[in-house]
């Protein structure tokens, strides 16, 4: 009697499983591939650096529209071409955007009202420089080498490096640097400006071999 009940329940489970597996409502559908992320070329800043390559920065007009518009305006005027990185602190950031190279200059356009936001200062974050007053950003900006959360909500983040961070890492350090690195050319990606001829970089030193140490 018990065996018949067991067999009956087992049969019901098997048939139920087959029914569910064949049910169109429960049939497994293929996963849909995520839509590709399309770069916003109109809001992508391109910096060709004297350190040997091209850096792309995706700007963020949704969180800092006035600052992004300022950077685009100055870039298209050729303002940043040839401007040095005048303040570069190891483990912190590289600052540029002053045509005088002193940290005291800016553009002839009026200073901007702060657009502080919740975007954190991470490695590769690009943020506007200012004086001690919040509404004094003009043309200078900096790129973070490392996270610096103490700057959050105190400086206007307007972009993030998306490629070429190795060329940022190679920027000469100093306040000011003895031989400052510079922005050879700045452009907006949508304008499709070709890169300049980059200066030759010094060859990496060859490692010392055991034979050289032994004099053989």
The mean pLDDT of 159-180, rounded to a whole number, is 98
Question: Can you tell me which residue has the tokens 């990496």?
Answer: 204
| Integer Cα distance of 96 and 80 in angstroms | 9
Reduce the DSSP state of residue 126 to 3 states and report it: strand
pLDDT at 216 over 80: no
3-class state of residue 188 by DSSP:
strand
Q: What's the CA gap between 50 and 162, in Å, rounded? A: 18
Q: CB count, 10 Å around CB of 112?
A: 20
Under 8 Å CB-to-CB from 186, ≥6 apart: which residues?
Answer: 45, 46, 47, 48, 75, 78, 79, 80, 81
Which letter does DSSP use for residue 150 in this model? G
86 vs 203, higher pLDDT? 86
The pTM of the full predicted model, rounded to 2 decimals, is 0.78
Q: Are 147 and 124 in contact (CB under 8 A)?
A: no
Locate all alpha helices (DSSP H) within 121-173, ordered by sequence. 165-169
Q: Helix, strand, or coil here: 7?
A: helix
pLDDT (0 to 100) of residue 38: 75
pLDDT in tens, 185-204: 999 999 999 999 988 776 65
pLDDT in tens, 1-41: 545 554 455 455 444 554 444 444 444 555 565 555 678 99
pLDDT of 53 reads 97
Residues 6+ apart with CB under 8 A from 46: 54, 55, 56, 57, 186, 187, 188, 189, 193
Q: Mind listing the domains of the chain with CATH numbers?
A: 43-191 (2.40.100.10)
Would you state the pLDDT for residue 125? Answer: 98
DSSP string computed for 56-77: EEEE-TTT-HHHHHHHHHHHHT
């Amino acid at each position: 009697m018990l065996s018949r009940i067991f067999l009956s329940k087992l049969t019901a489970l098997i048939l139920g499983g087959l029914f569910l597996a064949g049910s169109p409502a429960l049939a497994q559908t293929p996963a849909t591939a995520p839509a590709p992320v399309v770069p916003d070329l109109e809001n992508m800043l391109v910096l060709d650096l004297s350190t040997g390559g091209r850096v792309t920065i995706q700007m963020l007009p949704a969180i800092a529209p006035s600052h992004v518009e300022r950077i685009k305006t100055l870039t298209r005027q050729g303002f940043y071409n040839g401007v040095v990185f005048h303040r570069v602190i190891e483990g912190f950031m590289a600052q540029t955007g002053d045509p005088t190279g002193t940290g005291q200059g800016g553009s002839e356009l009026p200073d901007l009202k702060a657009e502080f936001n919740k975007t954190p200062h991470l490695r590769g974050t690009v943020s506007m420089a200012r004086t001690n007053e919040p509404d004094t950003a003009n043309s200078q900006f900096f790129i973070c080498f490392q996270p610096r959360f103490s700057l959050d909500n105190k400086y206007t983040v307007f972009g993030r490096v998306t490629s070429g961070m190795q060329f940022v890492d190679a920027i000469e350090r100093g306040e000011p640097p003895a031989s400052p690195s510079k922005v050879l050319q700045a452009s907006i990606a949508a304008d499709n400006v070709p890169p300049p001829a980059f200066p030759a970089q010094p060859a990496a030193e060859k490692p010392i071999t055991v034979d050289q140490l032994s004099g053989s």
